[in-house]
Structure 1
């Protein structure tokens, strides 16, 4: 039988992570081993839940884990570091929509005050004309 202190995760790495908190000065060996075991149980639990979501039950992949993370509020803290996979086409569609919304927001925000528009357009016109002359001078 393996000793109780045997873990599958590197205790030194767990200890380093624990010490990275500004509130922690020292970490005992027992607390490090406890955190190792807790992390192992968490990984096992997440993997088991994810495996249960597979259609054929033969293969566990990123998509299964991401699905569990995004459906279960207990894993909300993992959503930023484990996004759902999307295709390049979906990404481009999302980005185009986001850019269109931002352009729409700028257009509606700019029409709220005519004084601001006229002063900003005249100053931006001056800036663009000076940058045009700089560019033409640089290329000549």
Structure 2
């Protein structure tokens, strides 16, 4: 089945631009490869909207929140979690930032204390190695006598 250009839902020139931006810009992209990727994107968008609509069958229209909820709930769509996140309010965003900065400060304090512990351990190991070297040289000196 040959598809007419009018039947495509996504503009192939935009798909070509996206494909070039993701790889080597000097690479040659055949017309067929762009058409295949365009069709695959159209099928994926169709799948995503159909499945979301099935989940929200009681609604006449779909909105971003419906799509976002579907993406967050479906394990196989985990790769889209950061691309299609749930909407949050500015207040919720600020709370998340505050919690993040608090955990970063506590993490940095823990790292600093663990770094000090590691440096103390390294000093102890170096002292043990120095003592071992000294005892070996004493043993050698005794054997030479």
- Normalised-by-shorter TM-score class: 0.5 to 0.7
**Equivalent-residue separation in structure 1 for 2:104 and 2:95 (angstroms):** 14
* Corresponding position of 1:11: 12
* Corresponding position of 1:129: none
* Corresponding position of 2:134: none
Matches within 5 A, 1:12-31: 12-20=13-21, 21-22=23-24, 25-31=27-33
Q: Deviations over 1:17-73 (max 9, x none)?
A: 223312972222222222222111110110111122226321201111111222223
Residues 5, 33 of structure 1: 8 Å contact kept: no
Stretches of 4+ moved more than 6 A in 1? none
Superposition TM-score, scaled by structure 2 size: 0.64
* Structure index of larger Rg: 2
Q: Give the number of equivalent residue pairs.
A: 113
Identify which of 77, 98, 105 aligns with 1:75: 77
**Equivalent-residue separation in structure 1 for 2:29 and 2:113 (angstroms):** 59
Deviation, structure 1 residue 15: 1.8
Deviation, structure 1 residue 99: 1.8
Change (3 A) 1:95 1:18: closer
Q: Give ranges in structure 1 of 5+ residues lacking alignment.
A: 117-140
Please state which structure has a larger fraction of its residues in helix. 2
Residues 67, 84 of structure 1: 8 Å contact kept: yes
**Equivalent-residue separation in structure 1 for 2:75 and 2:36 (angstroms):** 25
User: Is 1:85 matched with 2:91?
Assistant: no
Q: Give ranges in structure 2 of 5+ residues lacking alignment.
A: 120-145
